[in-house]
């Protein structure tokens, strides 16, 4: 018996060592390309070749980031992206939580039908051309509201929040009803405070989706001042910096000299803000997803 326990202990230790080594190697392979790109963004022209991997810049400089931030179009793209993310997350949370609160009530008229109707939209879409014609018909073409209104409420998020609300004890709402609370008071004073984990979870999903979105701007926007930063990054990588991108002719000439450094800096300028939001909302992930997915 003792010999068997020693064998199992040795096997468990060996597995732990292998597991730790494997995870360390996996993390290094994931983080190394990001570090290499960061190194390139801080280096001067002439020190970088595409065949090598760089751990530290040979000649540290901030000129690449200064060139990017000197663009008026980049700042307008940042403004559009930030406003899209803030308004999109705020309005989506309000509409999603209200809809989920209504669907969670057993006395809601035809609740089963509306729940099935919402879930059905997850599997069937109208297609690009009908959506484009619809966007033009309702006046959202070349309008910043096209970034927010078509994706205001996601079916998956709505069902997830509804399931989370259904887990709450019914006695909480009953006690509030006895005290004379209205539906909106129950929603504001009881449902919203207790739904912080699931709302924080979907808030990060929505924020990442809005920050990384580019296709709707590419299809529905014609005014360059209304473009989001991701489309500007896409134009930069595909066509390079032109006079449209940088207001300074000297800065455009600098890009033609060191394009890879400018592109690397631009990638970090556009991705760093959303990465900073993860540590503040990560603690809600496990609780929000686990509780929200228990009950259908």
Burial of 266 (0-12, 13-18, 19+ CB in 10 A): buried
Q: What is the dihedral of CA 34, 37, 41, 46, to 10 degrees?
A: 160
The pLDDT, as a whole number, for residue 5 is 47
Q: How far is residue 199 from each of residues 103, 147, 285, measured CA to CA in Å? A: 16, 21, 10
The reported pTM is 0.76
pLDDT of residue 253: 52
Distance CA(267)–CA(59), nearest Å, equals: 20
pLDDT of residue 243: 47
Strand partners, 60: 43
Instruction: Count other C-beta atoms under 10 Å from residue 75's C-beta.
Output: 12
Q: Supply the DSSP string of 15-54, one letter for each residue.
A: HHHHHHHHHHHHHHHHHHHHHHHHHHHTB-TTS--TTS--
pLDDT at 83: 92
pLDDT tens, position by position, for the chain (296 residues)?
455 545 556 777 888 888 899 999 998 888 888 888 888 888 876 556 556 677 777 778 888 888 777 777 888 888 999 999 999 999 999 999 999 999 988 888 888 899 889 888 888 877 888 899 999 999 999 999 999 999 899 899 999 899 888 888 888 888 888 888 888 888 888 889 888 888 888 888 898 889 888 899 989 998 888 999 888 877 776 655 554 555 555 455 554 455 777 778 888 888 887 777 777 766 665 555 555 444 44
| Beta-bridge partners for 43 | 60
Q: What is the pLDDT of residue 137?
A: 92
DSSP state of 293: T
């Amino acid at each position: 018996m003792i010999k068997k326990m020693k064998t199992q202990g040795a096997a468990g230790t060996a597995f732990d060592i292998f597991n730790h080594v494997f995870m360390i190697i996996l993390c290094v392979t994931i983080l190394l390309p990001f570090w290499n790109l960061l190194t390139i963004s801080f280096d001067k022209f002439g020190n970088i070749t595409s065949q090598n991997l760089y751990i530290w810049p040979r000649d540290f400089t901030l000129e690449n980031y200064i060139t990017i931030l000197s663009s008026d179009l980049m700042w307008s793209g940042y403004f559009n992206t930030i406003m899209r993310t803030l308004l999109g997350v705020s309005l989506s949370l309000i509409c999603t939580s209200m809809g989920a609160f209504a669907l969670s009530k057993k006395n809601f008229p035809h609740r089963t039908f509306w729940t099935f109707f919402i879930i059905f939209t997850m599997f069937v879409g109208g297609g690009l051309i009908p959506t484009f014609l619809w966007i033009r018909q309702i006046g959202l073409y070349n309008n910043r509201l096209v970034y927010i209104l078509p994706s205001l409420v996601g079916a998956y998020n709505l069902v997830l929040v509804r399931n989370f609300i259904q887990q709450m004890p019914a006695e909480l709402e009953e006690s509030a009803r006895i005290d004379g609370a209205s539906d909106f008071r129950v929603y504001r004073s009881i449902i919203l405070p207790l739904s912080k984990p699931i709302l924080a979870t979907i808030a990060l999903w929505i924020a990442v989706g809005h920050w990384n979105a580019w296709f709707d701007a590419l299809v529905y926007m014609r005014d360059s001042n209304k473009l989001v930063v991701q489309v500007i990054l896409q134009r930069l990588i595909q066509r390079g910096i032109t006079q449209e991108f940088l207001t300074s002719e000297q800065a455009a000439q600098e890009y033609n000299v060191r394009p890879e450094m400018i592109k690397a800096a631009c990638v970090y300028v556009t991705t760093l803000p959303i990465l900073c939001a993860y540590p503040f909302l990560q603690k809600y992930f496990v609780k929000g997803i686990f509780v929200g997915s228990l009950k259908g």
